[in-house]
Structure 1
Amino acid sequence: MASKKAFALRVSPQVMDAMQRWADDDLRSLNAQIEYVLRDALVKAGRVKLVQRTVTDIVSLDEGQEDTE
């Protein structure tokens, strides 16, 4: 498994507070919530073909999405 890279992220206090509340609601750490939101956005934008959502569930762009055409 590839190691994760650390980097500084500058966001407004309002965005950070909202992300922290969302993470708390989903029982995730703030870091895990930010990664989840980024992965989800990449899938929806068609920027990645496969994204590992959980340890056992790999979601393809062609699976589990409604037809938007």
Structure 2
Amino acid sequence: MLLKADNADEVYLVQLGSHHHIPNPDVYFALFSAWDKIVVKSPKEVNTIPVGISPSLDACLIKAND
């Protein structure tokens, strides 16, 4: 899930029980094609999810041929 608090600009990837801050739009668009999948929640709801490690600045998604 992609997540942000309603009072902040930071976007997070929620994966394996943690939220991971996506550091900038370049990293976001290397991973996802549009902003429309972001779920907006209250800061309290976002903060109940443990913090994980942010994706690196050169993050990308890959898929095997099979």
Same fold (TM over 0.5): no
Higher RCO, Cα 8 Å, sep 6+: 2
Judging by fraction of residues, say which structure has more helix.
1
Q: Which has the larger radius of gyration?
A: 1
Structure 1 or 2: more strand by fraction: 2
